[in-house]
Amino acid sequence: MSGGPVVLKAEGLSKRFGGLLAVQNVSFSQYAGEILAVIGPNGAGKTTLLNLLSGVYRPTSGRLELLGEDVTEKPIEYRCHLGLGRAFQIVRPFPEMTVHENVTVGALFGKRGKTLSAAREEAYDLLERTGLAPQADKAAHELTLLQDKRLEVARALATQPKVLLLDEVMAGLRPAEAQEAVALVRSVQGSGISVLFIEHIMPVVRDLADRVVVMDQGQVIAEGTYREVTANPQVVAAYLGTEAELHA
Ligand SMILES: Nc1ncnc2c1ncn2[C@@H]1O[C@H](COP(=O)(O)OP(=O)(O)OP(=O)(O)O)[C@@H](O)[C@H]1O
């Protein structure tokens, strides 16, 4: 999968919180159409890295390129308009609005100058695509956990991303539901979107990731296919004595 155009390129990214280097000199590239997983034990710095990618944090040092453009100092909205979408681990739709309205908001946010009716139509298409059409007129707070996650993905897709960031979207799902979520992510990839995801559930990483970046204590300690990284002694050692299961 590697070798195509690079959509995301981190060069020596670091983030310091007081005395703690939560992310330390992290470099990696993501290629167009690729599903890239970022894994690592608790506290490895994965969420902080995602926050650096999406623009929640500015790096203490380092550089980030999105679709060939230096976005290191650019705010969240700029990155979003350029083509970076994010779905959150903690699902946060507008609870009183309907499912359809929630996705419409995403569609309006994604592109400047879009009419409301175009956004509503696009939102409906996305609900069909993510299997949420039957819930279109429900209030968002009435959804099940799996439906919530679908909504998060639909809202992120509504911004028309070229690169989608997923933050542990499988957390809390039952195995059968996780399989449905895996199928959804595959269909997202099938539509030409590159996906970068953080995930603790190893079977999901194994099934989805074209390539895996492993972090420990803020640093990248390995990179490769699922098979390669799970056979890497440094990765095995990083997971030893942690609650996370390395082998599925
Ligand atoms: N805003 C913050 N202020 C201070 N320290 C922080 C902040 N955010 C994260 N940290 C610290 O940075 C380190 C990395 O945290 P981070 O949440 O990025 O790890 P993670 O790999 O996502 O962990 P988990 O798998 O448990 O979610 C941890 O030691 C954490 O306590």
Dihedral sign for Cα 173, 177, 178, 182, please.
negative
Measuring from atom 17 of ligand 1, which residue has the nearest CA? Answer: 47
**Residue 90 pLDDT > 60:** no
Measuring from atom 7 of ligand 1, which residue has the nearest CA? Answer: 17
Measuring from atom 26 of ligand 1, which residue has the nearest CA? Answer: 42
pLDDT digits (tens, 9 = 90+) for 170-193: 888 888 888 888 998 998 999 899
Confidence of residue 80 (pLDDT cuts 50, 70, 90): confident
pLDDT digits (tens, 9 = 90+) for 121-144: 999 999 998 899 999 999 999 999
Residues of the chain with CATH 3.40.50.300: 1-83+163-172+191-248
Residue 165 corresponds to which tokens in the numbers above? 């960031």
pLDDT at 241: 66
Q: What is the pTM of this model?
A: 0.90
pLDDT digits (tens, 9 = 90+) for 207-226: 999 999 999 999 999 999 99
* Distance (Å) from CA 49 to ligand 1 centroid: 9
pLDDT at 215: 97
The chain-wide mean pLDDT, for the chain, equals 90
pLDDT at 2: 54
pLDDT at 60: 98
Determine the longest span between alpha carbons in the chain, in angstroms: 55
pLDDT digits (tens, 9 = 90+) for 30-67: 999 999 999 999 999 999 999 999 999 999 999 999 99
Q: Which residues pair with 85 in a beta bridge?
A: 164
Mean pLDDT within 238-245 = 72
Mean pLDDT within 141-164 = 89
In whole angstroms, what is the distance from residue 71 CA to residue 55 CA? Answer: 9
**Residue 100 pLDDT > 60:** yes
Residues lining ligand 1, Cβ inside 6 A: 17, 20, 22, 40, 42-48
* Distance (Å) from CA 48 to ligand 1 centroid: 6
Q: What percent of the chain has pLDDT over 70?
A: 92
ipTM of the complex: 0.96
**Spelled out in words, what is the top-level CATH class assigned to the domain 1-83+163-172+191-248?**
alpha beta
Dihedral over alpha carbons 68, 208, 170, 119 (to 10 degrees) = 50
Give, as one character, the DSSP assignment of residue 210.
S
Cα 144 from chain centroid? 21
